[in-house]
Amino acid sequence: MPELTNPRAERVASVRALAGRSARSRSGRYLVEGPQGVREALRCAPELVRDVYVSVPTAERYAEIVSDAVAARVRVHSATPEVLDAMSGDAQGVLAVLDAAPTTLAAVLASRPRLVAVLAHVRDPGNAGAVIRAADAAGADAVLLTEASVDVHNPKVVRSTAGSLFHLPVVTGLSLDDAVTALRSSGLAILAADGAGDHDLDDLLDVAGPSGNNRPTGVPDLSHPTAWVFGNEAWGLPEQDRALADAVVRVPIRGRAESLNLATAATVCLYASARAQR
């Protein structure tokens, strides 16, 4: 295949522009950077992949990426390292351009989910991507990012998911009120994670499931279908958002740490529910 060699070519500029939200919105496309993300995109969502750009050394090292792209009839472009660097400083020798394909909450709810993560006002791309990855690892059925959260197709979000973006549905654009109303109407309990919560996560695990028949009134059962709501990195969940939940739960701090960061707290909560549900 012909090799792209001009870092100032129009094609290079159009790919580089997808790092910006306005270009993504106009084109309906976004970038996936690096071998892990591109590999998972080709294996799990090949119908969305429009183009793959890869350097010769990377094509030799990760031959399966090229073979997967060819099998999916995706256009593969050989490019010099200079061209790839001009397209993205985080390409690691390979990147792909994908069509955005929004997922609706109605479609998620039709599959009767048991565990959902809801990100309310989460602005940091690395945190958002890490929570999507943790939700995938915990076996969650979906992740929701409210309209006040970071764009899920921000390149750093996509990189931080390490391919998990293509493993489970990710819904965007809803208000927290609308998301909670729809989730609750479908039978999910709404638990808000907050350091000042009324319920201790460890205590909830102790009384989860059938063995918790003596569970006090008003104490949530982690074995039931649950949507966890996680707040902003700096200021958590405001009172009006906590009021939307059925219960507010804190992760116990046993040592001297002041708190847990968002992604770590979300991971602990999601795994607690996954354990109780299984």
For range 229-255, the mean pLDDT: 93
Q: What percent of the chain has pLDDT over 90?
A: 90
Are 93 and 134 spatial neighbours (Cβ–Cβ below 8 Å)? Answer: no
Give 1's pLDDT tier (boundaries 50, 70, 90).
low
227 & 246 share domain? yes
pLDDT digits (tens, 9 = 90+) for 92-126: 999 999 999 989 999 999 999 999 999 999 999 99
* pLDDT at residue 234, rounded to an integer: 85
88 & 210 share domain? no
Are 90 and 245 spatial neighbours (Cβ–Cβ below 8 Å)? Answer: no
- CA torsion 258-262-266-268 (nearest 10°) is -30
The model carries a pTM of 0.95
95 & 190 share domain? no
Task: Check which CATH number belongs to the domain holding 40 and give it.
Answer: 3.30.1330.30
95 & 120 share domain? no
* pLDDT at residue 213, rounded to an integer: 62
Tally the domains of the chain: 2
Closest CA to 248 of 218, 268, 270: 218
Task: Check which CATH number belongs to the domain holding 166 and give it.
Answer: 3.40.1280.10
Q: Is the pLDDT of residue 30 over 70?
A: yes
pLDDT digits (tens, 9 = 90+) for 206-225: 989 876 567 777 899 999 99
Structural domain including 184 reads 105-277
Find the DSSP H helices in 188-235. 201-206
For range 237-262, the mean pLDDT: 94
